[in-house]
Chains A and B, each alone.
Chain A
Amino acid sequence: MADEAKPVTNIKTPMRLEYRYSAGVATSRFLRGIGQGKILGQRCPSCRKVYVPPRGSCPRCAVPTVEEVELSDEGTITTFAIVRVPSENIDVPLPFASVHVLLDGCDIPFFSVVQECPVDQIRIGMRVQAVWVPKEELTSTLQSIRYFKPTGEPDVPFEKLKEFL
């Protein structure tokens, strides 16, 4: 082969780390809720903020969050990025919008993707709704929410979102 005569200029040095991720008590409750088609957050007893996915404590107040809150699967885009580069573990057709969605009744954005909308129409303040897999295919993983799609409602003004950016 012609290549054999050429000097070696680079080598493959792959890194692979195999973990088993433990979701913890609070996020396990959230994932079980996802398996039933529900989005469960937790409210801080001190500052009253609602977190999703819940981690079991409030990062501001450093107190346990025990009150469970069922959230809407509708929300508002607080920020987004258009993804044009393929990645092995994403099976969404390119280009797509990777978004933060502030679910109604929640105080922290939730990470997902938007489909059924041209990427040049994605904007901060846009109202979206979760598209779930069919009920019989629900699992306790975030794959149960396929993506978010626009609802067509009027945009939420920036003033109401700026705290969450």
Chain B
Amino acid sequence: MSDLVRDEGGVLTAPHVLEYPYRRSVGPVLGRFFTALRDGRLVGVKTAKGRVLVPPAEYDPETGAAVSDAFVDVGPGGVVTTWSWVSRPRAKQPLDRPFAWALIRLDGADTAMLHAVDAGEPSRMKTGMRVVPRWRAERVGHIGDIECFQPEGE
């Protein structure tokens, strides 16, 4: 019997991996966001009403109108607006130890974006806490260029 095949109570089982190696076009607005990440910066885009969307979107989610072409620097620090603790991280998640998924409103932004917070334990997480990004030394223009956020002052 092949070493991948197992007999589980008379029924044979085997690993089955489904993998799609996608590459996705990001468009002009998110392209600015990812290009800034590669440079170690965070940017948002202004809507016609002057709200700052981070990550930037091509259309204002409130009105459906196209956003302006005004990109502004935001962060790097921000505020956790809500969070959820991951006690057993999966293989492809950003950290290999327990962490929080958090919505983070960066300084100067009017919307929050999702990222991981490396807080060590859930008792150190609080809505309203301040966090700062931990940048990777090697950046490629991907959300993973920020390894995670961490509590400010650490």
Given A12-B23, A17-B17: A28 in contact with B10 (beta carbons within 8 A): yes
Q: What are the interface flags for A130-145 relative to B under an 8 Å C-beta threshold, 1 for contact and 0 otherwise?
A: 0000000001110100
Q: Which of A1-30 contact B (CB under 8 A)?
A: 4, 7-25, 27-28
- Neighbouring A residues of B19 by C-beta, 8 Å: 14-17
- Neighbouring B residues of A16 by C-beta, 8 Å: 17-20, 92
CA distance A32 to B2 in the complex (A): 11
B2 touches A143 (CB 8 A): yes
Given A21-B16, A28-B12: A139 in contact with B22 (beta carbons within 8 A): no
- Chain B interface size band reads 20 to 34
Q: Check: A35 CB closer than 8 A to any chain B CB.
A: yes
Report the minimum CB–CB distance from A128 to chain B (whole Å): 25
Q: Check: B34 CB closer than 8 A to any chain A CB.
A: yes
- Neighbouring A residues of B35 by C-beta, 8 Å: 7-8
Number of residues of chain A lying within 8 A (CB) of chain B = 29
Q: Check: B63 CB closer than 8 A to any chain A CB.
A: no
Q: Closest B-chain residue to A22, C-beta based?
A: B13
Q: Check: B142 CB closer than 8 A to any chain A CB.
A: yes
Q: Check: B8 CB closer than 8 A to any chain A CB.
A: yes
CA distance A6 to B136 in the complex (A): 19
Report the minimum CB–CB distance from A130 to chain B (whole Å): 18
- Neighbouring A residues of B142 by C-beta, 8 Å: 11-12
Q: Closest A-chain residue to B38, C-beta based?
A: A8
Contact of B34 among A8, A18, A24, A27 (CB under 8 A): A8
CA distance A21 to B12 in the complex (A): 8
Report the minimum CB–CB distance from B141 to chain A (whole Å): 3
CA distance A128 to B77 in the complex (A): 68
Q: A12-B21, A22-B12 are in contact. List 19 more A-B contacts (CB 8 A).
A: A8-B31, A9-B26, A9-B31, A11-B24, A12-B22, A12-B24, A13-B22, A17-B17, A18-B17, A19-B18, A20-B15, A21-B13, A22-B11, A35-B1, A139-B1, A139-B2, A140-B2, A140-B12, A141-B5
Residues on A facing B (Cβ under 8 Å): 4, 7-25, 27-28, 31-32, 35, 139-141, 143
Jot down 13 A-B pairs with beta carbons below 8 A, ordered by A: A9-B26, A9-B31, A13-B22, A14-B19, A17-B18, A18-B17, A20-B14, A20-B16, A23-B11, A24-B11, A25-B10, A25-B11, A140-B1
